[in-house]
Amino acid sequence: SGPAEVFERFGGADKVVEVQALAGDSSDNVPGVPGIGEKTAKALIDEFGDVETLLASLDQLKGKRRENLENFADQARLSKQLVTLIADLDLDVDDNAFVMAEPNRQALTELFKECEFHKLLQEFSDDSRDSAKEADYRAVLNETDLAEMVAALEASERFAFDTETTGLDPLRADLVGLSFSVTAGEAWYVPVSHRYLGVPEQLPLDKVLAAVGPLLGSDEYLKVGQNLKYDILVMGRVGVAVTEPIFDTMLASYLANSAAQSHGMDSLATELLDYRTIPYSDVAGSGKKKICFDEVEVEKATVYAAEDADITLRLYEKLLPMVAEQEQQELFDNVEMALLPILVKMEQAGIRIDAELLNGLSADMEKKLAALEGEVHGLAGTAFNIGSPKQLGEVLFERLGLPKGKKTKTGWSTDVEVLSALAEEHEIAEKILDYRSLSKLKGTYTDALPKLIHPGTGRIHSSFNQAVTATGRLSSSNPNLQNIPIRTSGKVLFLLRVACCSRPTIHRSNCGFWPTWLTNQP
């Protein structure tokens, strides 16, 4: 801040200490006077000149403000001492030592790398500054440019590609454009469906696909991508099959760079390339001003999208030897990359669910939850919100006086470990565990799954993730199909699995097993 800003905020440089003595400064643990903020402090100092004059003139004030100043006069004086700088020390210091100088970026970069200060590395690394401006990124808007790009792809044994779409769900999002790179620092972006006033003429989608489709489906070229499964699914929806050989930089990082905090492209670019990628918000905005990618100007989209392909290629060149060095090549080739096309087919196929059966289960669970709630309230001797840990803790450990309670910062712990221990001897704890288990099933599965049915396929399409868990197992998301509570009854488990089964052959059997499961308790 300059003199003008200091004057506007405090009334002058000589008033800074006086205002801060009254207003305090929480960042420096300066208490000030309760009830007096900066604006009020400035007004008082403008009127009385300084803190001591103000404290000597309290008879001119009224109400709570006067009362606070009377009660906290010593605190105001202490605060003034705390914010007053000692300016008469005899220091043997060369003034030139305080002259601003250009930082030693090379030394700082090495230090930040060693300490893994990734955000500071982004700010100081010479390699990451203005890199996109130095790169050669081109928009492909006519057949001549398209032919030139295709010729470059055909002349290379491998290329990186990326898709830009209208959303995160590859089975619902529309393709907006494609980017390709064969050389680090160079890339093309082919827009196909940008829409805004003044948008330049774009090549027809069918013409673009006719040109690049054979390359993506050829076994002569290595196709490199970041989170490649997403791009393969998107291309599949427009009729283009992306076939092996393929290389996913996200999965390569997962095997060769397992200590990484994230295997996303932005994070990997920072960690492995000392490169700061363009944030999505820089081109599409954020919050209420956020727009869809097809509304982004082609010029801005070109730099953003082409950078994605460029960085993906650079990551490939960095990660390829790392996979071998970590002795993960066989696992990468024969497991992770071999599994990826299978997961693509699984996600494309989806899972047929019996919405009618799930709705019936949900209604039945609602009745059981109401019954369990009544039993819990009866055992507790009072009605309360079972879903509130605070109320539950008070009922169990204060009202009922149950043992084994443990306090946390927010109250009594009512986690599964605590309740399971209590359930061995106290029925109410067992009922609460049953209530929680059934409530989770209802909210996560019987209520939620029918809402996730894809309108075009009539199925749900969960995403199967290879690079999420620390153990290497697959996980699923949108929806998560793997977390069924362990206390779930056998009957409910069976019905849930039947509801998500394409051909439940038990329907046609004569063994009587199906009616037994429907009518009897397990």
Burial pattern 368-400, b for ≥16 Cβ within 10 A else e, equals bbeebbebbbebbeeebebeebebbbbbbbeeb
Which pLDDT value is given to residue 163? 99
Same domain, 293 and 434: no
User: What is the Cα–Cα distance from 476 to 457, expressed in whole angstroms?
Assistant: 19
CA atoms within 13 A on the CB side of 260: 23
Q: pLDDT-based confidence at 497, cuts 50/70/90? A: low
Residue, of 136 and 274, whose pLDDT is higher: 136
Q: In this structure, how many other beta carbons lie within 10 angstroms of the beta carbon of residue 218? A: 12
The answer to the question of residue 118 being in a domain is: no
User: If you search the block for the tokens 């840990």, which residue do you land on?
Assistant: 389
Alpha helices, DSSP H, located in 34-163: 38-48, 51-55, 63-71, 73-83, 105-115, 118-124, 131-134, 143-154
**Residues 368, 324 within the same domain:** no
Classify residue 136 by burial, with Cβ atoms within 10 Å: 0-12, 13-18, 19+. Answer: exposed
Q: Give pLDDT, residue 489.
A: 57
422 C-beta neighbours (distance < 10 Å), count: 23
29-64: per-residue pLDDT in tens? 899 999 898 899 899 999 999 999 999 999 998 888
For residues 210 and 339, state if they share a domain. Answer: yes
Whether 410 and 483 map to the same domain: the answer is yes
- DSSP H/E element including 3: helix 3-10
Considering 330, 349, 368, which residue would you say is the last residue of a domain? 349
Query: Confidence class of residue 425 from pLDDT cuts 50, 70 and 90?
Result: confident
**Angstrom distance (rounded) from CA 156 to CA 220:** 10
What tokens were used for 486? 């362990």
* pLDDT value for 501: 58
Lowest mean pLDDT among 6-10, 389-393, 407-411: 407-411
Q: What is the pLDDT of residues 442-487, one digit of tens each?
A: 988 889 889 999 999 999 999 999 998 878 888 888 888 776 555 5
Mean pLDDT computed over every residue of the chain: 88
On whether residue 233 sits in a domain, the answer given is yes
Whether 101 is in a domain gets the answer no
Question: Same domain, yes or no, for 466 and 389?
Answer: yes
Q: Write out the residue range of the structural domain in which residue 257 sits.
A: 135-349
Residue 115 lies in a domain: no
Q: Would you say residue 235 lies in a domain?
A: yes
Residue 108 inside a domain? The answer is: no
Residue 197 clears pLDDT 90, i.e. is over it = yes
- Residue 506 in any domain: the answer is yes
User: Which tokens sit at 198?
Assistant: 């003044």
pLDDT in tens, 81-113: 999 988 788 878 787 878 888 888 778 877 887
Confidence of residue 258 (pLDDT cuts 50, 70, 90): confident
Whether 417 has a pLDDT exceeding 80, the answer reads yes
Pairing verdict, β 246-248 and 222-225: parallel
Q: Are residues 203 and 321 in the same domain?
A: yes
- How does DSSP assign 477-495, residue by residue? ESS--S---TT--HHHHHH
Rounded CA-CA distance 56/58 in Å is 6
Tell me if 229 is assigned to some domain: yes
Which amino acid is residue 92, in one-letter code? Answer: D
- Which residues are 30's β-sheet partners? 25
Locate the DSSP E strands across 172-319.
Answer: 175-183, 186-191, 222-225, 246-248
Residue 392 sits in a domain whose CATH number is: 1.20.1060.10
Q: Give pLDDT tens digits for 137-173.
A: 999 999 999 999 999 999 999 999 999 999 999 999 9
CATH of the domain at 29: 1.10.150.20
CA distance 204 to 402: 71
User: Is the same domain home to 370 and 300?
Assistant: no
Q: Which residues contact 61 (CB under 8 A, 6 or more apart)?
A: 69
Task: Encode pLDDT of 106-115 as tens digits.
Answer: 788 778 877 8
The answer to whether the bond into 170 is cis (omega within 30° of 0) is no
Q: Which residues contact 208 (CB under 8 A, 6 or more apart)?
A: 146, 178, 190, 192
373 and 340, same structural domain? Answer: no
Q: Where do we find the tokens 């050989």?
A: 245
No. of helices (H) and no. of strands (E), the chain: 24, 12
222 and 204 together in one domain: yes
Collapsing DSSP to helix, strand or coil, 115 comes out as helix
The number of domains in the chain is 3
Residue after which a domain boundary falls, among 302, 318, 349 = 349
CA 325 to chain centre: 31
Are 257 and 363 in the same domain? no
**Does residue 56 sit in the same domain as residue 188?**
no
Longest dimension (CA), the chain: 101
Query: Of the spans 39-53, 311-325, 345-359, which averages the highest pLDDT?
Result: 311-325
Last residue of a domain, one of 41, 59, 83: 83
Q: Are residues 426 and 505 in the same domain?
A: yes
For residue 184, give the CATH number of its domain.
3.30.420.10
Look at residue 292 and tell me whether its pLDDT is greater than 70.
Answer: yes
Say whether 109 sits in a helix, a strand or coil: helix
Task: Give the pLDDT score at 504.
Answer: 47
Q: Do the Cβ atoms of 337 and 206 come closer than 8 Å?
A: no
pTM exceeds 0.85, yes or no? no
Please work out, in degrees rounded to the nearest 5, the angle formed at the alpha carbon of residue 444 by the alpha carbons of 438 and 445. 85
